Amino acid sequence: MEIKVINSELKNTVSHNGKIGLILLATDQITLYEFEAILKDTGVLCFPSRVMMDSVELTPEVLMAIKNELASATNTILPGLTLDVVALSCTSASMTIGEDEVARIIKQSDTKREIKEVTNPYTAIKNACEFLNVNELGVITPYSIEVTQGILDGMEPNIKTISAATFNNPNDNLVPSITPESIKDAVIQMAKDENIKTIFVSCTNLNICRYIDELEEITGKRILTSNQVMAWDILRLANYKKPILGFGSLFKEER
């Protein structure tokens, strides 16, 4: 039987506004769930990979070891194709390894293809605060006190922490099960401090993005979260400027 060769039109109709490499921790259950909602209909599409970890307990040692997995994780994402942005989806790992080192490893992972930009939630929160002219935060995390302190120290001197609180749950398999109600209660309690104008909920594995608008309305404060600011920074780097509704005041301004 003769097999007929047919013509086809080649046109990117799915990721026409950006191909994004998204490196997730092996334990991450929330980032893709929240990104699906935020990036819907933008034409910016994420292509994920995962990094293995020595333990589900997010200690500084476990976070630092992720450094050794970054290059191979990057290389499993659309080999040979240019990526507009690659993001490491972990606030605490990016802080522990160092954002410049994360960017260096990812960009040098394959010299035969171009990776235009690199970001992560730790870089993104600082970029968002600069964009918003914010230099003081209240911070809520699920991390151990040690890892939380590292986040706070790393944001100084440009961003001062007025108040900090943690669920003190370093087991990253359990963090996604912290209920939105618990997170919302923590935000509302922190927002009672009149000196706090902006609250940052840190961790890509916390289920909170869908409730940002509600919390901003209840508290009258600006609410930032790890996945929210990372998605915002990805869109900014990919030159997607249209406002997105439903995920806080940050997205209502042109990037």
pLDDT in tens, the chain (255 residues): 999 999 999 999 999 999 999 999 999 999 999 999 999 999 999 999 999 988 998 899 999 999 999 999 999 999 999 999 999 999 999 999 999 999 999 999 999 999 999 999 999 999 999 999 999 999 999 999 999 999 999 999 899 999 999 999 999 999 999 999 999 999 999 999 999 999 999 999 999 999 999 999 999 999 999 999 999 999 999 999 999 999 999 999 877
Residue 24 lies in a domain: yes
Same domain, residue pair 116 and 235: yes
Domain residues for the domain of 219 are 123-226
Same domain, residue pair 209 and 130: yes
Same domain, residue pair 58 and 133: no
Measured over all CA atoms, what is the biggest interatomic distance in the chain, rounded to whole angstroms? Answer: 78
| Closest by Cα among 45, 46, 44, 99 to 70 | 99
3-state secondary structure 182-230: HHHHHHHHHHCCCCCCEEEECCCCCCCHHHHHHHHHHHCCEEEEHHHHH
Give 151: exposed, middle or buried? Use CB within 10 Å, 0-12, 13-18, 19+: buried
Residue 225 dihedral angles phi and psi, to the nearest 5°:
-135, 165
Report the CATH number at residue 213.
Answer: 3.40.50.1860
**How many domains does one find in the chain?**
2
Same domain, residue pair 154 and 143: yes
Element (H, E) at 61: helix 60-65
Strands (DSSP E) found in 26-103: 44-51, 83-89
Same domain, residue pair 157 and 179: yes
Same domain, residue pair 92 and 186: no
Residue 218 lies in a domain: yes
| SS3 (DSSP) at 85 | strand
For residue 170, say if its preceding peptide bond is cis, omega within 30 degrees of 0.
no
| Closest by Cα among 86, 84, 51 to 70 | 51
Report the CATH number at residue 36.
Answer: 3.40.50.12500
Same domain, residue pair 83 and 140: no
Residue 12 lies in a domain: no
